[in-house]
């Protein structure tokens, strides 16, 4: 009798959640953190995938969250660390229209 060879299934790659709706293979998360302007990738697990401006500035997905007014201002302040700061600023202005106010100095 000929023995039947069992087919082995390909090993499953464990996925890590970087943000809500955004999963990457285990190990790639640390590679994403090494990109310029992407040191906090994976620290905002409860923020939705569409609430980030990192990819607009050529930084990793999951960086520069803009789901609150405070984070919008922080993204503008830290945009200079991204490979393309103008992309981050444009994304923040587009996504945070009603969240942040423009402050101007009053003339005396």
Q: What is the 3-state secondary structure (H, E, C) of the chain?
A: CCCCCCCCCCCCCCEEEEEECEEEECCHHHHHHCCCCCCCCCCCCCCEHHHECCHHHCCCCCCCECCCHHHHHHHHHHHHHCCCHHHHHHHHHHHCCCCCCCCCCCCC
Domain boundaries, the chain: 15-95
What are the tens digits of pLDDT across the range 58-108? Answer: 999 999 999 999 999 999 999 999 999 999 999 999 999 888 877 656 655
pTM above the 0.95 mark? no
């Amino acid at each position: 009798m000929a023995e039947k060879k069992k087919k082995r299934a390909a090993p499953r790659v464990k996925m890590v959640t970087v943000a809500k709706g955004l999963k990457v293979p285990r190990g790639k998360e640390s590679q994403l953190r090494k990109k310029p302007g992407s040191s906090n990738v994976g620290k905002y697990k409860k923020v939705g995938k569409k609430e980030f401006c990192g990819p607009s500035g050529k930084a990793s997905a999951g960086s520069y969250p803009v789901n609150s007014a405070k984070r919008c201002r922080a993204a503008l302040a830290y945009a200079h660390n991204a490979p393309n700061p103008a992309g981050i600023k444009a994304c923040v202005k587009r996504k945070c229209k009603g969240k942040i106010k423009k402050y101007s100095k009053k003339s005396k």
